[in-house]
Structure 1
Amino acid sequence: MNEFTERLQRDHQFVARRIGDGLHPVAAWRERREISREELAERADLTPREVASIEDGLLVPDTSQRGRLAQALATDAEALIP
Structure 2
Amino acid sequence: MQKFSKEVINQLKHYVYIYSDPETDDIFYVGKGVGNRVFSHLTDNEDTEKSRMIKRIRDRGQEPKIEILIHDWKMTIQP
Answer whether TM exceeds 0.5 for this pair: no
For normalisation by structure 1, the TM-score amounts to 0.26
Structure with max Cα Rg: 2
TM-score where L is the length of structure 2: 0.26
Greater helix share, structure number? 1
Richer in strand (by share): 2
